[in-house]
Amino acid sequence: MASSVKSTYDPVEYPKSSKNKKPKGKITMSGKEKDTSYDDDFDFVEAYDEDPAAADERMLPENEAMSAISCAFVGVGGGGGKLAKAFLDLGFNKTLLVNTTEKDQPDGVPEEHFLLIPGADGVGKDVALGKDVLSDNGALVEDSLRTRIGKVDWLFVLAGGGGGTGSACYSIHNSLERYLSSVGSEGKVVYIVTKPSAQELLNPTIADNSKSLLADVVNSPHIVIDNERQLQLLRGKVGMLGMYPAANKNFAKLIAQVLKLAEENSPIQTFDSKDLEKCLSQPGRMMVGSTVVRDVSSRDLGSTLYQGCIKSSPCPAPSKRSQTGVMLLVVTPEMAGDPDVSNKIEAAFSYVGGRTNTLFSGVYLKDRLPGLIAISILGGM
């Protein structure tokens, strides 16, 4: 029945002059008239016999990207929307872009993925106004998630810190949680928020907005993307114009890879969906990073992998000892078959294990790789 719940915001179409027309038979759930010429004693059987309620045509198609957990992405504000688009581009169809204006929306996103919050045409970096507008429309957001996303377990909320809309995203937190529990979800809301570049932080409004967002999400599971770090990693590799799209795409691919690997089986060591959920539900900040090591004969492979993931991560470096740590390695069958490399991989896990309270690890085989690939997540910081 959930799919027949009508949005309170839908214009209700009342049938014209239906007042005086009394239906002859009984009207069934599908609105069709039913023959009532026989006894009523057994009419209950047909109550269970209805065609399933027609799927809501606004329901977004299922995700095509492989993932160990059922999830959706909600981008709030301009930057959040662009980040969300990067996930949509990878096949996460359960993606919704929420904004207070139609103007700063990324191109190439079909209309059904947009949710325009009425009441203000943008909030012009005013986070207090952003919070008012968003929280006034909490029910609209909640309702749209139910009708367009349907049932998922995990909700990733993406927002650019610094602006007025994205920085206000936590004001709909209760609505998001209500939506999740109303669909019987077993996951949580995970925030992915950006920190403005050094140049942008010189502006006090941007700095304050960003600070307020970071304070809002501090006790929720969240990932901070440091735009300064990210831009520095990409400077010289892509032009100004392509900087954010390239950065967003890289980040989305990194997260998508984690979601996918947790779905795959490994003949060596599997990081499964329960492990992933354990990490994602850890309150506090998460850091995600990856690296590739071409020379696997390196003596201190453990520190090379761990430090490499931290150094090339778009997230700020780990601030303290993490509660949970994940080390996923993707190796070629040759590497896995080499006893020397295998020993070093074991040592690498102990190295990371010594730096986190609970270590989750996985080793996956792939045929053609540029080297040994490591993806690490440190959580609960």
Ligand X SMILES: Nc1nc2c(ncn2[C@@H]2O[C@H](COP(=O)(O)OP(=O)(O)OP(=O)(O)O)[C@@H](O)[C@H]2O)c(=O)[nH]1
Q: Which residues bind Mg ion (CB under 5 A)?
A: 78, 104
Segments of 221-343 assigned E as strands: 221-226, 284-293, 322-331
Strand order in the sheet with 356-365: 114-116, 95-99, 71-76, 154-160, 189-195, 221-226, 284-293, 372-379, 322-331, 356-365
Residue nearest to Mg ion (CB): 78
75 binds ligand X (CB under 6 A): no
Judged by CB under 6 A, which of 122, 221, 284, 362 binds ligand X?
122
What's the CA gap between 18 and 11, in Å, rounded? 18
212-271 residues near ligand X, rule: CB under 6 A: 225, 227, 244, 247-248
What's the CA gap between 245 and 236, in Å, rounded? 15
| Residue 100 binds which entry of ligand X, Mg ion, none, CB below 5-8 Å type-dependent | ligand X
Quick check: helix, strand or coil at residue 298?
Answer: coil
What's the CA gap between 40 and 343, in Å, rounded? 75
124 binds ligand X (CB under 6 A): yes
Chain centroid, CA 112 distance in Å: 18
Nearer to Mg ion, 106 or 221 (CB): 106
Nearer to Mg ion, 102 or 340 (CB): 102
261-320 residues near ligand X, rule: CB under 6 A: none
144 binds ligand X (CB under 6 A): no
Nearer to ligand X, 165 or 323 (CB): 165
Nearer to ligand X, 5 or 128 (CB): 128
Q: Are strands 221-226 and 322-331 parallel, antiparallel or unpaired?
A: unpaired
Q: How far is the CB of 161 from ligand X (least distance, A)?
A: 6
| Residue 146 binds which entry of Mg ion, ligand X, none, CB below 5-8 Å type-dependent | none
Look at residues 98, 107, 256, 106 and name the one whose alpha carbon lies nearest to residue 179: 98
Nearer to Mg ion, 100 or 322 (CB): 100
Nearer to ligand X, 163 or 318 (CB): 163
What's the CA gap between 376 and 258, in Å, rounded? 9
Quick check: helix, strand or coil at residue 83?
Answer: helix
Residue nearest to ligand X (CB): 163
What's the CA gap between 353 and 97, in Å, rounded? 38
321-380 residues near ligand X, rule: CB under 6 A: none
Q: How far is the CB of 241 from ligand X (least distance, A)?
A: 12
Locate tokens 């909030």: which residue?
123
Strand partners, 372: 293
Per-position DSSP letters for 86-135, written without gaps between them = HHHHTT---EEEEES-STT--TT--GGGEEEPTT-S--TT-HHHHHHHHH
Judge whether 146 and 65 are in contact, CB under 8 Å.
no
Among the listed ranges 156-164, 211-219, 302-310, 368-376, the one in contact with ligand X (CB under 6 A) is: 156-164
| Residue 227 binds which entry of ligand X, Mg ion, none, CB below 5-8 Å type-dependent | ligand X
Nearer to ligand X, 231 or 331 (CB): 231
Judge whether 210 and 161 are in contact, CB under 8 Å.
yes
| Residue 244 binds which entry of Mg ion, ligand X, none, CB below 5-8 Å type-dependent | ligand X
Look up residue 290 and give its amino acid.
S
> DSSP assignment, residue 238?
B
Which tokens belong to 304?
């090379």
Nearer to Mg ion, 79 or 150 (CB): 79
| Residue 124 binds which entry of Mg ion, ligand X, none, CB below 5-8 Å type-dependent | ligand X
Judged by CB under 6 A, which of 112, 177, 200, 208 binds ligand X?
200
Residues that bind ligand X (CB under 6 A): 77-80, 82-83, 100, 104, 122-125, 160, 162-166, 194, 196-197, 200, 206, 225, 227, 244, 247-248
